[in-house]
Amino acid sequence: MTKRRMITAAAGAAAFTLCAVGLHLSPLALARLALLGAALGAVVESDLAQRRIPNRIVVPAAVACAALWVAGGIVPFALIDGVVLVVVLLALSLCRSQALGMGDVKLALLLVLGLDGRGVLALLVALALAACFGVLLVVRHGRAGGSRQLPLAPFFAAGALIALLA
């Protein structure tokens, strides 16, 4: 792991931990959010630098978040609506892989498992932020701006923080 990725992972863990402390969440929720923040920080750095979302970060973090969620008690409806949204994103990725990569779908699943019922809000906010940024690119660069690929991990991380604070 690069020094820059370790720094962004630590910053992500710190930001999400501060949110959990400020919201007076349980120790299990605090651990889950710290883990989510660390994973998001590392993934944002990777997506910006290499346009990749590494499975070696996302998959273990998703499994750990799921285990912490089970240990703290699952809210079934929060899981159902989140999984439905991830399935929709998966279908979009399979139909139009240039629009949404499989790494983005796995990252969406991590958000659903890590945010304890706030995953859908986080994903919707993230996609809205990405769409707004895309519109700005088109306004600034014309048609050429519409053909640029955006790394979605930074928008997912921002959406997760906004959903936590909402």
Extents of the domains making up the chain: 3-165
Question: With contact defined as beta carbons under 8 Å apart, do 95 and 11 qualify?
Answer: no
Alpha carbons within 13 A on the beta-carbon side of 154: 13
Q: Which range scores top for mean pLDDT: 9-23, 95-109, 116-130, 138-152?
A: 9-23
Assigned token pair, 17:
């931990």
The mean pLDDT of the chain is 91
- In three-state secondary structure terms, 147 is coil
Residues 86-127: pLDDT tens digits? Answer: 999 999 999 988 878 899 999 999 999 999 888 899 999 999
What is the reported pLDDT for 147?
67
Element holding 29 (H helix, E strand)? helix 27-50
pLDDT (average), residues 46-72: 93
37-54 per-position pLDDT tens digit: 999 999 999 999 999 999
Torsion from C-alpha of 150, 126, 157, 46, nearest 10 degrees? -20
Residue 148 banded pLDDT, cuts 50, 70, 90: confident
Say what the pTM is.
0.91
